[in-house]
Chains A and B, each alone.
Chain A
């Protein structure tokens, strides 16, 4: 069973608000990833990290930012939420190949 957790599971927030989506894993994995997924659609990589103090942007341009101060924690922040940010955000981690996913955060910006 994967020990990777995302909070909150669901979030409805007003336009212009700052939000942070949390992702934590207890498996000691060095590599972590954030994907964005619209309903019924494919996953798009938006950020990844190879370890502490390492962050990179993914294939899909995103206005979000990430940080990796601790191995187990990889939060994603939106400074000013917009309706176009409405989506599901999925966090994953791996050490050497098997990538495990959290349950996701479904974000709605109104």
Chain B
């Protein structure tokens, strides 16, 4: 199976919260990331969390890590139309720090 798995699509109403979920298989992952990709663009690092943390909050973004279940989530509060994009979950290990990506979740925000 894939190392990092995400659901492919999420549709939310503007102003609601969005929760994007991700599972990973490698228990030795050191870093877990969330990237945003808008059409035709590169990847923008939104936030990351160390594997020894449970939660990280940064303005409208909250990352939750359940290391036991190898489950990572990204919550976007007060979702706006400008948040419509593909969100990639990634993990890496110390040493090589090579990010391994999921297939991305396409977030669609409608009025």
Mark A residues whose CB is within 8 Å of B.
2, 6, 31, 33, 35, 40-43, 45, 48, 50, 58, 90, 92, 94, 96-104, 106
Contact = CB atoms under 8 A, between A and B. Distances in A.
11 contacts: A6-B42, A33-B98, A33-B99, A40-B104, A41-B104, A97-B48, A98-B31, A98-B45, A98-B48, A99-B33, A106-B40
B53 to A, nearest CB: 13
A100 B46 CA distance: 10
Contacts of A43: 43, 88, 101
B103 interface: yes
A29 to B, nearest CB: 10
Interface string B84-108: 0010101010101111111110100
B25 interface: no
A97 B92 contact: yes
Given A45-B100, A90-B42, A97-B31, 9 more contacts: A31-B97, A33-B99, A42-B88, A50-B96, A94-B97, A101-B35, A101-B45, A103-B41, A104-B42
A98 B33 CA distance: 8
B44 interface: yes
A40 B37 CA distance: 10
Contacts of A31: 96-98
Contacts of B42: 6, 90, 101-104
A97 B98 contact: no
Interface in B17-59: 30-31, 33, 35, 40-45, 48
Nearest to A96: B97
